[in-house]
Amino acid sequence: LSRYWTDFHEIEQIGNGNFSCVFKVLKRIDGCFYAVKKSTRLLHQDTERRKALMEVQALAALGFHENIVGYYSSWFENEQLFIQMELCDHSLSIRKPSKLSTEGELLEIIYQMAKALQFIHEKGIAHLDVKPDNIYIKNGVYKLGDFGCATLLDSTLPIEEGDARYMPQEVLNDNYDHLDKVDIFSLGAAIYELIRGSALPESGHLSLNLREGKLPLLPGHSVQFQNLLKAMIDPDPVRRPSAKELVKNPIFDRDQRTGKNHYS
C-alpha cells in the first residue's frame, strides 16, 4: 500500500534536481496543494539514507519561518525518500526568463534571505547551497529552500558543499571554520548573478575576482548597495557581515508611515 498514492493526487512534475524530482500534488484529505520531492536514486545503503535524511532532519529541527520553504512530513517508500513541502510559485533561477530586478527588489531578496539565514544560523545550521535556484517566491514572499546540503555549523564531519560557483575561496581550500559566513558569500554571489542576468561561470576571471572580493562595477546601482554586496563577498569570512548584522543594516530601514521599505 503506497502512502503517496493513497494520500495524494499527483498533478504535474514541477522540477527536477540531480537526485530528485518534485511534483505538485493535491492532498486528498485536506484539499490543499503541496510540493512533494521524491529521491530518484534508490537509497539502499545506510550512508546514502543518512545523507538524504540530513535534509529532512534539518527542515524538521528548524521549524516554521516565513522565509523558509515550509516542511510538513517525510517518509520512506520502496527505498525512496518522500518530502512533503509548501508549494511555491517558482524559484529565482536565472534559467527561467525574467525581467531584471530593480535595486529595491534585490534589497528585499537580501533582507528576507538574511532573516532566513539568521534564523537557521541561530539554530546551529548552515545551508551551504544558497543560489537563485534555491530561493523560491510565493505570493511575493521569498523563501529559502533545498536543504539537501545543510549541515551543523560546528560539524566535524566532512561537509558536502553545494554548487561550487557560489562557494567562497576558504571552502575550496577545505577551511570550514565559519560555515555561517559561507552562506553570506553565496547570497552575495547569487544577488550578483541576478543583476548580471546570466549564470555565473564555473571558472575563469569572473569567478576568481568574486572570490577575491572584487565586484565588477554595477552601473545604475547606488554606492551604498555596491558596498553592501562587496562586504558580503569579502574574501575574509571574519570580515563578512553575519546574517544578524545584515538584517540590522540601515539600508533596510523601514518607513514608519507606510510600513514599506523606503526603497519600494
Place of cell 577575491: 212
By CB under 6 A, the residues from 123 to 182 that bind ligand ATP are 133-134, 136, 145-146, 148
Place of cell 523606503: 262
Q: Which of 89, 129, 177, 183 is catalytic?
A: 129
* Binding flag, residue 146, Mg ion (CB under 5 A): yes
For the chain, the maximum distance between any two Cα atoms, rounded to a whole number of angstroms, is 60
Residues 85 and 127: their CA atoms lie apart, in Å, by 17
User: Binding marks (x or -) toward ligand ATP, 77..96, rule CB under 6 A?
Assistant: --------xxxx--x-----
At CA 136, angle to CA 183 and CA 5, rounded to 5?
120
Residues 211 and 143: their CA atoms lie apart, in Å, by 25
For Mg ion, which stretch binds (CB under 5 A), given 80-88, 119-127, 132-140, 226-234?
132-140
The interface partner of residue 258, options being ligand ATP, Mg ion, none and the CB cut-off 5 to 8 Å by kind, is none
Helices (H), the chain: 3-7, 46-62, 103-122, 169-172, 179-196, 205-211, 223-232, 243-247
User: Binding marks (x or -) toward ligand ATP, 27..56, rule CB under 6 A?
Assistant: --------x-x-------------------
**Closer of 193 and 234 to ligand ATP (Cβ):** 193
Residues 21 and 166: their CA atoms lie apart, in Å, by 23
Residues that bind Mg ion (CB under 5 A): 134, 146, 148
Residues that bind ligand ATP (CB under 6 A): 14-20, 22, 35, 37, 69, 85-88, 91, 133-134, 136, 145-146, 148
Residues classed as catalytic: 129
